[in-house]
Amino acid sequence: MREFSNKLQNFRFEDDDRNVYVNALKFAKKIKENNIREIEIYLSDTFDFCVAFFGSMMAGLAPDILPKPIFSSDKSYVDSENFGSYIDVDCNEEILLGEDCRFFLKTSGSSGESKRIEKKLSDMITESTYLAKEFGFESDGIFFSSVSHQHMFGLTYKVFLPIILGAKVVSKEMNYSERILELDLKNHIFITSPVLLQALIKSPRSSEIRELKWIISAGSELKKTLREELARLCNAKIVDIYGSTETGVVARNFGDGLRLFSAVKAKFDEREALGVSSPWCEFFQSNDWAEVSGDRLILKGRIDRIVKLNDKRVSLESIEKKLFESGILSDCYCEIHPNFKRLAALLVLNENGIRKFRRYGKKGIVAELSNILKNEFKNSVRYFKIVDSLPRNSQGKFAKHEFANVLFRSICPKWEHKILEDGKSKFSSVMSAELEIFTNHFPNLPLIPGFMQLDFIFELARSIGIDLSGASRIENLKYIKFVRPNDRLDIFIEKKENRVYFEIFCNDEKCSMGRVVY
Count Cβ atoms below 10 Å from residue 407 Cβ, excluding itself. 18
Q: What's the pLDDT score for residue 111?
A: 61
Distance of CA 132 to the CA centre of its chain: 26
pLDDT average, residue stretch 37-61: 97
pLDDT average, residue stretch 107-128: 88
Give the homologous superfamily in CATH for domain 174-308. Answer: ANL, N-terminal domain (3.40.50.12780)
pLDDT at residue 194 above 80? yes
What architecture is the 416-517 domain classified under in CATH? Roll (3.10)
Please state the φ and ψ torsions of residue 51, each to the nearest 5 degrees.
-60, -50
pLDDT average, residue stretch 88-109: 89
The most confident of the ranges 214-228, 252-266, 313-327 is 252-266
Q: What's the pLDDT score for residue 416?
A: 97
Integer angstrom CA distances of residue 117 from 7, 152, 354? 26, 10, 42
Q: What's the pLDDT score for residue 54?
A: 98
pLDDT average, residue stretch 219-247: 95
Please state the φ and ψ torsions of residue 503, each to the nearest 5 degrees.
-135, 135
> How far is 323 from 344, CA to CA, in rounded Å?
12
Confidence of residue 284 (pLDDT cuts 50, 70, 90): very high
**Is CATH 3.30.300.30 correct for 310-408?**
yes
| β pairing state of 312-315 and 329-336 | unpaired
Confidence of residue 292 (pLDDT cuts 50, 70, 90): very high
Maximum Cα interatomic distance, the chain, rounded to a whole number of Å:
85
Percent with pLDDT over 90 in the chain = 84
pLDDT at residue 109 above 80? no
Helix (H, G, I), strand (E, B) or coil at 152: helix
Residues 436 and 484: beta-carbon distance below 8 Å: no
> How far is 274 from 292, CA to CA, in rounded Å?
9
> Burial of 468 by CB count in 10 Å (0-12 exposed, 13-18 middle, 19+ buried)?
middle
pLDDT at residue 110 above 70? no
Check residue 438 and report its DSSP letter. Answer: I
Decide which of 344 and 91 is more confident.
344
pLDDT average, residue stretch 113-138: 95
384-408 per-position pLDDT tens digit: 999 999 998 877 788 888 999 999 9
pLDDT average, residue stretch 203-208: 93
pLDDT at residue 310 above 80? no
> How far is 34 from 59, CA to CA, in rounded Å?
11
Side chain identity at residue 402, one-letter code: E
> How far is 230 from 220, CA to CA, in rounded Å?
16
Side chain identity at residue 71, one-letter code: F
SS (H, E, C) 212-233: CCEEEECCCCCCHHHHHHHHHH
pLDDT at residue 439 above 90? no
Which sequence spans correspond to the domains of the chain? 174-308, 310-408, 416-517
pLDDT at residue 112 above 70? no
pLDDT at residue 56 above 80? yes
pLDDT at residue 319 above 90? yes
Bridge partners (DSSP) of residue 291 are 298
Same fold flag, 174-308 and 416-517: no
361-380 per-position pLDDT tens digit: 999 999 999 999 999 998 88
